[in-house]
Structure 1
Amino acid sequence: MASPSIQRRSSSSASHSQWSYDVFLSFRGKDTRRSFTDHLYSALIRNNIRTFRDDEELRRGEEIAPELLKAIEESRIAIIVFSKTYAHSKWCLETLVKIMKCKEERGQMVIPIFYHVDPSELRNPTGTYGEAFTHHEENADEERKEKIRKWKTALRQAGNLAGYGATNR
C-alpha cells in the first residue's frame, strides 16, 4: 500500500509570485473524488493551472498537517466543493476554517461550488449539514464546542459567497 501522500501538479511555466499554487482544491473525497472533482482537477491541470489537491482519502483524524496548511496559505485561489457529506468530515471543516482565515488575512480568493447542496444549508446547517453538526455536538467538551463554533462560522461565511451550483437537473 502506498504511503499517505499529497498530490501536486505544476505547469512547466513557473510563476514568480508570492503564490506557490494557483488553486487549492478542497473537497470530500467520498462524495466527489471519482467524479466531479477528478474532472475539475484534470481540467485545471490541462490548462496549466498549478493545483494542489490533498489526498484526503488517506487522512484520519482532524489535525491538519503543516504541509497542508502551508499549501493553503500559498494558494492564490481556493475552490471548495461543498457536497452532501462535506460537513461530516472534521478534516474538511478544519481545512475550511484555514481557507476562510486566508481569505480574510491574505486576500485569497475563495470560490465555492455547491455540489447537490443549497448554500442555505451552510448558512444555517440543515439537511445533511444539520445531521453532521448534531453528530459533532454529541458529548462535545468545551474545546470541541469551540471548534464547532469556528466550523459553523466558516460555513456561514462560505455560504454567503457567490459560487456555482452543480445539480442533477
Structure 2
Amino acid sequence: MENSEAGTRTDDTLGGEYQVFLSFRGLDTRRGFTNSLYHALVDAGIRVFIDDEALQAGERISGKLLRAIDLCKLYIPIFSKNYASSPWCLRELAKMVENTSKSKEDRKKVILPIFYDVKPDDVKLKTTLYRNAILNLKQKIEDQKKKFRSKDVETWQQALKEVDGTRGWELEKYSG
C-alpha cells in the first residue's frame, strides 16, 4: 500500500497521531472523490488515515482501525448512496460520534461530513434512501443468525441522526 510522510494506510504503524480519519463507502467514492481528497490533504502536510482495499465489507472492525479513529482529531465521513448499507461504515460513524461526544475542549474532536450524491435529509433518515438501507441491515440480522445485533443497528441510526447537528458540505452545490 501507499505510504507518504503525511498520509498513512492501515498497514502502516500507528505510532504517530493521525489528524484526519476518512470514512467512506469504497464502491461509491474510493477511486474518484475520496482518492482526490486524500491526496490533497496529504499534499497539504496533513496526516490522514484511510483504510486499505484489503478490508472487506461486513468484517469486524479491527482494533487497529478503532485505534486510528481514537487517534484522529478530525473525522470526515463521506456520505454516499451506499454508505448506510455498510455495517463497517456505520460502525466507524458510531465510533466517531462517541469520540466527539466524549472529547474535552482542549482535545476537541470534530466531524465534518461531506454529502456525496446524497442530501443531509437522506443521512438524517428523513428519506427512504438510508432508512431502507437500515431496514435491509435489520433483515440481515434475522437472516444471518444475528450477525449484527439489533442494538448495533439502533446505535448506527442514532449516529446518523446525531450528524444532523453538524454542518457539512453538499458537493452538488459546488462546481468542479
TM-score (norm 2): 0.81
User: Within 5 Å, which residues of 2 pair with 1:17-166?
Assistant: 20-56=17-53, 58-106=55-103, 107-138=108-139, 140=141, 144-166=149-171
Task: State the secondary structure of the residue aligned to 2:96.
Answer: helix
What CA RMSD, in Å, does the superposition of the two structures yield over aligned residues?
Answer: 2.3
Gaps of 5+ in 1: 13-18
Evaluate the alpha carbon distance shift between residue 10 and residue 101 of structure 1 in structure 2; reply closer, same or farther with a 3 A threshold.
Answer: farther
- Structure 1 residue 155 displacement after superposition: 0.4
Number of residue pairs matched? 158
* TM-score in terms of structure 1 length: 0.84
CA displacement, residues 118-149 of structure 1 (integer Å, 9 cap, x when unaligned): 11112125232122112111163586211110
Contact 2:57 2:86 in 1 (8 A): no
Letter in 1 for 2:21: F
Q: Which ranges of structure 2 fall in alignment gaps of 5 or more residues? A: 8-15
SS in 1 for 2:141: coil
% identity of equivalent residues: 37
More strand by share: 1
Letter of the structure 2 residue corresponding to residue 61 of structure 1:
G
- Partner secondary structure for residue 52 of structure 1: strand
